[in-house]
Amino acid sequence: QNGVLFHVPSMADYGKLSGRNRDDMVAGARVEVDGGKKDPADFALWKAAKPDEPQEARWDSPWGEGRPGWHIECSAMAKAVLGETIDIHAGGLDLIFPHHENEIAQSECAHGKPMARYWLHNGFLSMDSEKMSKSLGNVKLIHDLLQHFDGETMRLALMSAHYRQPLDWTEALLTQSKATLDRLYNALRRMKDVAPYHTGAPDGVLAALCDDLNTPLALAELSALATEANKAEPEDWPRMKGQLLAAGQLLGLLQKDPEAWARGDASAAKRIDALVQQRIDARKAKDFAAADQIRKALADEGIEIMDGPQGSTWRRV
């Protein structure tokens, strides 16, 4: 009457993904033990429709009206779109058990072959040491963050921790990531008049990425490469520049013109130029309060105005 269940003890190697023992499996069972189960860890493949459930949430089947179980939905979609064995199956660490364990059980018993060749489970993102959630009002969307930080800055921040580890998203993290990129782009600016000699990405960066996508180590290798480039003699610049660009391409970094990076993106630079001109006009009109207000507003954005005999210029600090 309750639908169709998967009898967990019928699969000898159930639990191979999570490495859990039987007691842990029973404690983590998603569905409460009921009369239809032979084992507390058994899970639903097909759930029989209940009288109070809406018609749009039930379908006909050989086992009566009902709906697919949580785990079957994912296995069915993966098989329909990607086949019986897929290359990479990813998800949050919280899905290893029971969800992914149950996906493996039902898929491999149905098809007689591995469901996935590689499983990647990511850690969680917190916001200033708090869980990101709508109830706390601290959810940040990418398009909102892009109003304040460049995409490469956010990408580097995310890669600063291994994908399986938690990451605390803070203003300090983004500021540090921006400073790291500034240093990398400055190394390229130093070699701006040199054509790169493309030798491919350095072995250290490749080895790090081949080691379970160890992005923190890959970034450390990239930083060391920038340090080496800053100390290199001009005759070594083509090779160093080529390696920096190749490593950056693998990581989705250093994709912009170094000079443009130094001044910020074009729209931001245009806005800052306009504010600097407003300050110049205010000083000419002896409206020093307005001029100081503009300087302070730009300083709050990390923009320093430099006054000299040739006029006023600005830079990011």
Quick one: pLDDT at residue 268?
73
- The pLDDT value recorded for residue 265 is 62
Residue spans per domain, the chain: 4-122, 127-260, 264-316
Domain covering 127-260: architecture? Orthogonal Bundle (1.10)
For residues 124 and 92, the answer to whether their CB atoms sit within 8 Å is: yes
Question: 31 pLDDT band (50/70/90 cuts)?
Answer: very low
**Residue 272: pLDDT band with limits 50, 70, 90:** confident
pLDDT band, residue 235 (cuts 50/70/90): very high
Task: Tell me the per-residue pLDDT of 149-194, one tens digit each, with 9 for 90 and over.
Answer: 889 999 999 999 999 999 999 988 998 999 899 999 999 999 999 9
Q: Give the span between the Cα atoms of 269 and 275, in whole angstroms.
A: 10
Give the pLDDT band of residue 301 (cuts 50, 70, 90).
Answer: confident
Residues listed for the chain: 317
Nearest to 180 by CA among 253, 268, 269, 263: 253
User: pLDDT, tens digit, for every residue of 195-205?
Assistant: 999 888 999 99
Rounded Cα distance, 151 and 228, in Å: 26
Q: How do residues 33-85 score in pLDDT, each as one tens digit? A: 566 789 999 999 999 999 898 999 999 999 999 999 999 999 999 999 999 99
Domain 4-122 classification at class level? alpha beta
Q: Is the pLDDT of residue 117 over 50?
A: yes
Separation CA 144–CA 155 (nearest Å): 15
Tokens at residue 215, please?
């992005």
Single out the residue of 42, 59, 40 nearest to residue 8, CA to CA.
42
Q: What is the pLDDT of residue 22?
A: 72
